[in-house]
Amino acid sequence: MSDQVEGIKVLVTLPPDTVDDIKNLSIRLGVSPSELLQRAVSLEKFVDDVEDKNGKLLIETADKKFKLITRR
């Protein structure tokens, strides 16, 4: 019996620079392009859930400054 999760094959058309970003990030992070895209969707859902409840996301930069993350 396999421990793999069954998935749905999806065909998407992406700009070449986005494909390059996916390839480079997946190599840098040591994950497959599919795993990288799953993580991206999960992160986007988390951000959406926070914003939907009127929450805010802040990121602290290396120089100890805070940046507000917004998508809307």
Residue 57 lies in a domain: yes
pLDDT of residue 1: 53
Q: Where are the alpha helices (DSSP H) in the chain?
A: 16-29, 33-52
Q: Shortest CA distance to 68 belongs to which of 42, 50, 53?
A: 50
Give the Å distances, CA to CA, from 26 to 2, 18, 55, 67.
24, 12, 30, 25
| Domain annotation covers residue 63 | yes
pTM (2 d.p.): 0.78
Task: Give the residue numbers spanning the domain of 33.
Answer: 16-69
Residue pLDDT, tens place only, 3-60: 677 889 999 999 999 999 999 999 999 999 999 999 999 999 999 999 999 999 999 9
- Which of the four pLDDT bands, split at 50, 70 and 90, describes residue 61? very high
- Count of structural domains, the chain: 1
> Does residue 24 lie within any of the structural domains?
yes
